[in-house]
Structure 1
């Protein structure tokens, strides 16, 4: 195992102790926080690592374009993170594999032992900035497209939006929280979409106003920090489909004014039972479009479950 790790990582791994904020109830803490040096491990050259994994998949013939779902001249890379236990992990997945969401195809390239607060996530900026060069990169004459995934709270922190319950909490547009709660026929028909450029302008306005968080909803559309990642917002997806209902003018599935239909999916391998359709519609127009179906059907999930059980039996 150690030889295999050495062949994969080579000299591309770096580890250090970094001061981060941890919750504390001691008298030495400030506002319930204390600064502690915690382990921080990351890959120095993310682009080289991804290209190396692509070459390995190419040599094994395990790359797929899903019958035209992914264009033949593109490679899709998903980058995201999540906190589990006491550590936060940042990872990537190659979508051009047969089972991109499986743990075998999930590669962790950064990890630290601390909560994923906005202050602690600042250490990831130099690593995430490498995605800018990744999006300009080609591999075997194919364009590399980068997508970002994570829970809604993480995405708002990465893109500098105040919080999930901010006045303008939608990741994609400037729809206010009050407008989301109104019936569709009473909502404002004009939609201003967010982008990296608009986020930069909003943050500049926030700075010029003196960085007063209480006024963020009035001067910067609830943007209070610079975006950490150079990936456009329309290339993001929340990890949990239930959280999509809080975006823009979407309403909870329990209400009778549901703006789009969702299909039921059985619980297989611990997956969520809700899976919305790829196109989300808002007052008869397409509000946000992205493909999240990943060709997932009940038969595919059952077949995947059967294959994993057979693999476990063969290992035993």
Structure 2
């Protein structure tokens, strides 16, 4: 129908004339009545569009504007999808890990490109994270601001309540939530991932997250929907001032979904991406400092005495360093002369004439001493001449990444995509070998979609403890992000409760939807 509509507009003729014209070239099409009947059967109740007034970024002014935005929720899609899976015999209860009278439903959302997508997946499938089993139930092309989330998910929130109390063929629903951490904060009413009490699962303060258990000064309690409601009530009773949210465990809004926090899946994929990027940047910065030290050493020696293939990479940097050293030596000599003249001038009891030779010498010395700033500028140019990650040593990291076919995403600050963490965790070695090895042992297990036995869980707990202790001892000056806290404190309890890796109940499948939708667009 869309193709015929385009052809009709191009040739500026009625549909019937267009059909006759196509027949002349051997192209046969069904009647409009049959095509519309087929279109109706395919779409049915799957696509129900609504328009909402949502906030958008004004590209001209940089401010915000409100305009109508299509929002597409899919009513009754969960039951329809279950019927389809049951008809093709795809439903499974994973050897009894999912109770026979339960349907595990995963709900989650994420913004990819310009479109926010609210999705669901059935965990009662062999491969629930497959993109073909990830169903978009609500989408809008706008920013994922709290305003738009509240409006776009208004009907979805009501459907969640209905799902939690409904059944499918005598089986009740157990709902899980997946997504990145910013999404969790918006869904459950926290100020964000940088607040004093930024963890969704407990009330630990940010300052205590790096410390071992025995060194923490504040009591930490697990959160629940009930405790968050008490914090919210107290926050509102004290005036509801966002700047004081830290005094009320950073709870400032009611949750958009009433799914228990124990059923919110720890964002394992984003934990791995964030921690790996942090460690890699630390490794790269240390390589950069080594590049600078090598260039300084070479500048003090005869370049010809070294291998040409090695020094050629440093040639430009060494030349700048030589110039900086020379200018710095001259500037220091001039500064010493200027200081000596100043001392002599202070001994004069009576002001002298401007033409006095001593005054002229002092003025000349002051003028020459300005070269000191030039020297400092040259040293600064030496530092900026070699950008972080571009030196001969640090540059080897990118060469290694290319060798294992890993490319950092330029559009996201040089970050990595999910599958690359597996490769880099196996390949990177050297100074940070102990850190990356311990991290890889944890990542490869907790991000799997496999069933987790007691032996696997116990081994994972030991690996996380080893990684945590190594990081705290060897990297004492590095900051400790909330992702580190989630890994250390909350991954093991979640896996012990549900007996699956985070790849089974987590956000991996939702991330794959973005590429598919972008290709369609």
TM-score range, shorter chain: 0.7 to 0.9
Find runs of 4+ consecutive structure 1 residues off by over 4 angstroms.
Answer: 1-9, 278-287
SS in 1 for 2:68: strand
Give the 3 Å change call, closer, same or farther, for CA 191–239 of structure 1 in structure 2: closer
CA RMSD in angstroms, aligned pairs only: 3.4
Native 8 Å contact 1:159 1:228 kept in 2:
yes
Contact map agreement 2:47 2:73 (CA 8 A) in 1: yes
Q: Which residue, out of 167, 175, 185, partners 2:214? A: 185
Q: 1:40 aligns with which of 71, 75, 82?
A: 71
Q: What residue number does 2:45 align with?
A: 11
Match of 1:304 in 2: none
SS at structure 1 position matched to 2:52 = strand
Determine the structure 2 residue equivalent to 1:293. Answer: 501
1:147 lines up with 2:181 in the alignment: no
Structure 1 unaligned blocks of 5 or more: 255-266, 297-316
C-alpha contact (below 8 Å) 2:273/2:421 kept by paired residues: no
Does 2:200 correspond to 1:200? no
The answer to whether structure 1 residue 100 and structure 2 residue 100 are counterparts is no
- Give the conservation status (yes or no) of the 8 Å contact 1:199–1:227: no
Please identify the structure whose Cα radius of gyration is greater: 2
**Given the alignment of the two structures, is residue 116 of structure 1 paired with residue 141 of structure 2, yes or no?**
no
SS of equivalent residue, structure 1 residue 289: helix
Match of 1:64 among 86, 92, 95: 92
Distance 1:212 1:87, change over 3 A: same
Displacement after TM superposition at 1:23 (Å): 2.1
Range with bigger deviation, 126-135 or 1-10: 1-10
Q: Single out whichever of 72-81 and 137-146 deviates more from structure 2.
A: 137-146
Give 2:241's match in structure 1, choosing from 204, 212, 231: 212
Alignment coverage as a number of residue pairs: 275
Which fold has the larger relative contact order, with Cα–Cα distance below 8 Å and residues 6 or more apart in sequence? 2
Label 1:242 to 1:285 Cα distance change in 2 as closer, same or farther (>3 A): closer
Q: TM-score, normalised by structure 1?
A: 0.75
Q: Which runs of 5+ in 2 are unaligned?
A: 1-34, 280-405, 407-416, 423-442, 447-451, 466-487, 505-521
CA apart distance, 1:172: 0.5
Corresponding residue of 1:174? 203
| 2:133 corresponds to 1:133 | no
Match of 1:50 in 2: 78
- Cα 1:225–1:237, aligned 2, differ >3 Å: closer, same or farther? same
Q: CA deviation at 1:276?
A: 5.0
Q: Which moved more, 1:226-235 or 1:18-27?
A: 18-27
For 1:121 and 1:12, the matched residues in 2 are separated by 21
Relative distance call for 1:183 and 1:4 in structure 2 (3 A) is farther
| Structure with the largest fraction of strand | 1
The 3-state SS of whatever aligns with 1:108 is strand
Structure 1 residues 253 and 87: CA distance shift in structure 2, 3 A: closer
TM-score of the superposed pair, with normalisation by structure 2: 0.47
Aligned residue runs from structure 1 range 274-293, under 5 A: 274-277=443-446, 288-290=493-495, 291=498, 292-293=500-501
Deviates more, 1:17-26 or 1:109-118: 17-26
Change (3 A) 1:253 1:169: same
Indicate the larger mover: 186-195 or 165-174: 186-195
How far apart are residue 18 of structure 1 and its match? Answer: 1.8
Q: Give the secondary structure class of the aligned counterpart of 1:130.
A: helix
- Alpha carbons 1:79, 1:147 under 8 Å: kept: yes
Using a 3 Å threshold, how does the CA distance of structure 1 residues 135 and 183 change in structure 2: closer, same or farther? same
Cα distance change, pair 13–165 in 1 and its aligned pair in 2 (3 A): same
Residue 59 to residue 12, structure 1, CA distance change in 2 (3 Å): closer
Taking the aligned partners of 1:77 and 1:272, their CA distance within structure 2 comes to 28
* Alpha-carbon distance, 1:35 to partner: 1.9
The change in CA–CA distance for 1:95 and 1:224 in structure 2 (over 3 A counts) is same
CA distance in 2, matches of 1:80, 1:113: 17
Of residues 170-179 and 118-127 in structure 1, the stretch that sits farther from structure 2 once superposed is 118-127
